[in-house]
Structures are given as C-alpha cells and as structure tokens.
Amino acid sequence: MQRIKCLGLWVLVVVGCTPRVIYEGKLLTPEYDYQARLVVDSAKEEASLDLKIKAMGSRDTALQGNVIDLIAPSGAQSIPTQKTWLSRFLLSQGQTARARAKWRLINDPAFYQLYGMAGDTLPSNYTLNVGVVVGTEPVLLTVQASEKSLSTYQKQLNPILAHYKVVFPQDFEKIQKAHLVTQGWIVQDSHDDHEAPGERKDHESDDSFSSPFLVIGEYTVLMDGRYYVGFYGFSRKDRFVLRVILVNREAEMLSFVPEKLLLQADKKTLKPRVKKSLFQKKVNKAFVLSRNERGEWLLEYPLSSPPEQLFLHVKKAFVSPQGKELFAVENLGLQASQ
C-alpha cells in the first residue's frame, strides 16, 4: 500500500459552544484528481465526507459505492453509518463525480471500549482510503487540520476529571448468589440420582464456577453466565456520565428503569437523563429485554464537581415484570481513579 503525499488545509467552524473541525486534503494521481472535505462534529461524534473525483486519464471508470475507510492515527477505524452516495456511476475523462459518506467516530479505541464514545481528543489528521470508489487498489488520502484549529477546539471542551470503578459491598458475592436462587433468577439443576457416591461431574470440578457463580470485575458483574451488568462512569465539571450495559441470557423478560438508577453524591440524590439508548424496546419508563437480548444506555446526571465517592441505587432499576429485583443490595459504590 503506497501513501501519496497530499496538500492539507483546515477550517474551524464554530456552532454554538462546540466547534466543528473541518479537515481538507488534495491528492493528484495520473488517473484521478481527488479533493476531500471532512467535517467532524464532536457533539454528535460524527464525521461527514464530501469527496470530489475528477478523471484525468482517457479510460472510462465505473464508480463503486464501497465503504470508504476513515482511519485515525491510532489505527482506529470509524464505523460507517450510511452507504456511500455517488453523484454518478460512470466517469469519463474531464468529468467530476462526488461521493459522500458518514461515520460514527472512534478516535481513542480504549475510551470507546469503556464508554462507547469517540474520545475527546481529535487527531491532527485522518486517512481515507479513496481507492475503493474507483475500484483500484488502496489509495490513501490524508486530510489535515492545523494545531491552531485543534487548540481552539480543545479550549472549548468540558474535560474529563476522573474515571470511576465499581465498589461492591462486603459479602456481596455471598448475598447475591443466595438472592439469585431464592428469588428464582437462577434455577439450579438437580444432581443425577444414578451418580455414584463421591463422583463429580466435570463442570463441578472447579468450585469457583459451581452454579450459581459470580465473576466480578472493576466495572462489571457476571451472574452465573446468565446476567451481565456493567457500569462505566466518568465525571466532568458539571455532570457525571454513566454507560450502562445489560445482557439477559435467562429470564423471559428483564427490565431496566433508568429513572430508578439514582445517583447518591454526598447529600444529593439525582435522577439521570438518558442521553443515548442503543436499545429501543420500551414499555412506559422501562426498557424491556427478552431472553438473549443486550441493551446499552448512556446516562447523564447533573452534578457540579462530582466527589470521588458516589453511590448507585441499583436495586429498583433492574427488575422483572412482576417487580422482582435482580440485585440483592440497595447500593453499589463508585470510586474515582486516575
């Protein structure tokens, strides 16, 4: 894959309080003249491309609406959100065609993995594989922004103050295991009556994974391989942001009620606003997951300078249609970490 040098230009457009940064680049080859304009909207975490292609050679080219890769310097590839649009499908010498594409941005892979968000820091450039439109081998075009434009963008950001990990109460594992069984969230299989005395089945050889078992992480709890709940939080100077992931592998229905997931900060108790939901099946105020469904939500709590220790009221937020709670405990702690 050969990279061809191009001319990079930049523009900064201010819309409200959040700027859109515009990256521009040109690339001239013997066959084609490419001119690209990429608009990055950080508030929407989107990037939109307007690409002009002029045929310089004598042969006709059948254009293809293939996915154009948008690659950050970190190597992260953004996610296309629509098909590549073409103004024409046949390009002859001297003619110009336009292609448009849009992506959900991924700038920081680690940040995206934790929070499902692009990451605040914009790179100075992106790379586009524009060769897929004309059907040739990969042709990489770099679109560039200047340090001045990015500095202006960064000054208007609301920076992240701290990241938070979940703190589980003492004896949580013991209490939660018993709760899952007694409340019917897990139905244990009985032993084979014909099993020889003292004989163990293979899946029982490791006591740590005898049902019911819990796998507890820094942000998550996996309950017997049947229910998965993740809480990924960070703070800004005027809010607390929480990504919630819920996977239901067992129950006929399991509901998540965002307004019941209260945040306790010192003497304040706050309700969240659902900023984004990747799960749309909603009944009244609850998102209802059927068996083998996964839900993901981004919540915001209005809180100035969030303290290092917070508490989540989880008990009434994850329930069955009959109101049976998934969690045995009332609260989980959240502790700030750098």
pLDDT in tens, 45-59: 999 999 999 999 999
Q: Which tokens is 202 given? A: 């293979």
Stronger pLDDT, 13 or 186, i.e. the higher one: 186
* Domain chopping of the chain, boundaries: 7-157, 161-187+209-337
Indicate the length of the chain as a whole number. 338
DSSP-derived 3-state class of residue 216:
strand
**What are the tens digits of pLDDT across the range 123-164?**
999 999 999 999 878 999 999 998 888 888 888 888 899 999
pLDDT by residue (tens digit) across 317-336? 999 999 999 999 999 999 99
Calculate mean pLDDT across residues 25-29.
Answer: 96
Contact 31, 56 (CB under 8 A): yes
Instruction: State the Cα–Cα distance between residues 251 and 187, nearest whole angstrom.
Output: 10
**Percent of residues in the chain assigned helix, strand, coil, to nearest 5:** 10, 45, 45
Instruction: pLDDT band for 112, please (50, 70, 90 cuts).
Output: very high
Confidence category of residue 69, pLDDT binned at 50, 70, 90: very high
The pLDDT > 90 percentage for the chain reads 75
For residue 278, the tally of other CB atoms under 10 A from its CB is 11
Least confident stretch, 120-124, 268-272, 294-298: 120-124
What pLDDT sits at residue 149? 83
Contact 82, 102 (CB under 8 A): yes
Q: Is 50 exceeded by the pLDDT of residue 77?
A: yes
What is the mean pLDDT of the segment spanning 207-235? 91
Question: From residue 167, how far is each of 152, 164, 311, 336 by CA, in Å?
Answer: 38, 9, 9, 10
| Mean pLDDT for the chain overall | 88
Distance CA 333, CA 317 (A): 15
Instruction: Please report the pLDDT score of residue 204 as a whole number.
Output: 43
pLDDT band, residue 246 (cuts 50/70/90): very high
Task: For residue 234, give the 3-state DSSP assignment.
Answer: strand
Name the class of domain 7-157. Answer: mainly beta
Return the higher-pLDDT residue of 117 and 19. 117
**Banded model confidence at residue 15, pLDDT cuts 50, 70, 90:** very low
For the record, the structure tokens of 11 come out as 């523009």
Residue 225 gets the label, from left (phi > 0), alpha (psi -120 to 50) or beta, of: left
Residues 12-25 as b or e (16 or more Cβ within 10 Å = b): beeeeeebbbbbbb
Task: Tell me if domain 7-157 and domain 161-187+209-337 are identical in fold.
Answer: yes
DSSP state of 122: P
Residues in Cβ contact with 190 at an 8 Å cutoff, skipping those fewer than 6 apart = none
C-alpha to C-alpha distance for 309 and 151, rounded to whole angstroms: 32
Per the CB < 8 A criterion, the answer to whether 134 and 61 are in contact is yes
Residue 12 pLDDT greater than 90, yes or no: no
Residue-level pLDDT at 45: 92
- pLDDT category at 102 given cuts 50, 70, 90 is very high
| Share of residues in the chain with pLDDT > 70 (%) | 88
Q: Which CATH number fits domain 161-187+209-337: 2.30.30, 2.40.50, 2.40.128, 2.60.40?
A: 2.60.40
Could you give the CA distance from residue 302 to residue 323 in angstroms, rounded to a whole number?
28
pLDDT over 70 (residue 206): no
